[in-house]
């Protein structure tokens, strides 16, 4: 079952920084259309005055004292780096 949805796949894929193939675009459009159609059912629920739930248990002020402790040695920090030079991560030139 394919439903028309207002999913702008190109726009969203760009926001998510995902290059999609033509085949993926076609497939995702259809599948996500189905899923978005399915979740439409939430419109049936009356949510007037209901607080949104962002956390499973409502506690607050969870923090730590400002005491510095050692971090990762540079070698460990960069151990998984795909490209590095002078102890820094190399990326293609960033144009601002």
Partner 1 sequence: MADELIFQPAARLAAQLTAGKISSVRLLQAFLSRTMAVDGRVKAFNSHDETGALVQARAADERRAAGRARGPLDGLPVGLKDVIAVEGQPLTCSSKMLANFISPYDATVSVKLKAAGAILWGRMNMDEFAMGSSTENSAFGPTANPWDLSRVPGGSSGGAAAAVAAGELPFALGSDTGGSIRQPAAFCGIVGLKPTYGLVSRYGLAAFASSLDQIGTLTRTVEDAALLLGAIAGHDPQDSTSFRTEIPDYRAELKKRRGTWRLGVPREYFGAGLDPEIGAAVKSAIEFYRQSGCEIKEVSLPLAAEYAVAVYYLIATAEASSNLARYDGVRFGHRSTKAKDTVDLYCQSRAEGFGEEVKRRIILGTHVLSSGYYDAYYMRAQKVRTLIRNEFVCVFRDCDALLSPTTPTAAFRLGEKSADPLAMYLNDIYTISVNLAGLPGVSIPCGFTGTGLPIGLQLIGQPFQEADLLAIAHRYEQGHDWHTKHPALS
Partner 2 sequence: MKYEAAIGLEVHVQLRTASKMFTRVAAGYGAAPNTLTDPVVLALPGALPVMNKEALDKIIKAGLMLGCAIEPVCKWDRKNYFYPDSPKNYQISQYDQPICLGGTVEIELPGASRNVMGEHKKIPLTRIHLEEDVGKLNHGTGDSLVDYNRAGTPLMEIVSEPALHSADEAFAFLTSLRTTLVQGGISDCDMEKGQLRCDANISIRPVGETMLGTKVELKNLNSISFVRDGIALEIRRQSAVLEGGGFIGQETRQYDGEAGTSTAMRSKEMAHDYRYFPDPDLMPVKVDAAWQAQIRATVPELPFDRQRRFFEEYQLPYTITSVLVSDRELSDFFEETAKLSGKPQAAGNWITNDLLRELDGAKITLTDCKLRPSHLAGLLQLVEAGVISSTIAREVFAAMFLTGEAAEAIVARQDLKQSTDAGELEKWVAEAIAANPKAVAEFKAGKEQAINAVKGTVMKASKGKANPKLVDEIMRKQLGASPRPVN
**Where does this chain bind partner 1 (CB under 8 A)?**
7, 9, 11-21, 24, 28, 31-32, 34-36, 38-39, 41-43, 45, 47, 50-57, 59, 62-64, 72, 76-77, 79-83, 89, 91-95
96 binds, among partner 2, partner 1, none (CB under 5 to 8 A by kind): partner 2
Q: Are 20 and 13 in contact (CB under 8 A)?
A: yes
Q: Closest by alpha carbon to 32, among 51, 61, 9, 48?
A: 9
Q: Is residue 6 involved in binding partner 2 (CB under 8 A)?
A: no
Q: Closest by alpha carbon to 2, among 38, 39, 34?
A: 34
Q: Is residue 50 involved in binding partner 2 (CB under 8 A)?
A: no
* Count of C-beta atoms within a 10 Å radius of residue 13: 15
Distance CA 48, CA 50 (A): 6
One of 23, 49, 82, 96 touching partner 2 (CB under 8 A)? 96
Q: Site residues (CB under 8 A) for partner 2?
A: 11, 14-15, 17, 54-55, 59-72, 74, 77-78, 85-96
């Amino acid at each position: 079952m394919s439903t028309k949805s207002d999913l702008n796949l190109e726009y969203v894929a760009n926001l998510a920084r995902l290059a999609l193939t033509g085949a993926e675009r076609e497939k995702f459009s259809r599948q996500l259309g189905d899923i978005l159609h399915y979740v439409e059912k939430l419109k049936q629920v009356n949510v007037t005055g209901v607080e949104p739930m962002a956390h499973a248990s409502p506690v607050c002020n969870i923090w730590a004292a400002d005491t510095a402790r050692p971090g990762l040695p540079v070698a460990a920090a960069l151990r998984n780096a795909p490209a590095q030079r002078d102890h820094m991560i190399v990326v293609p030139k960033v144009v601002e």
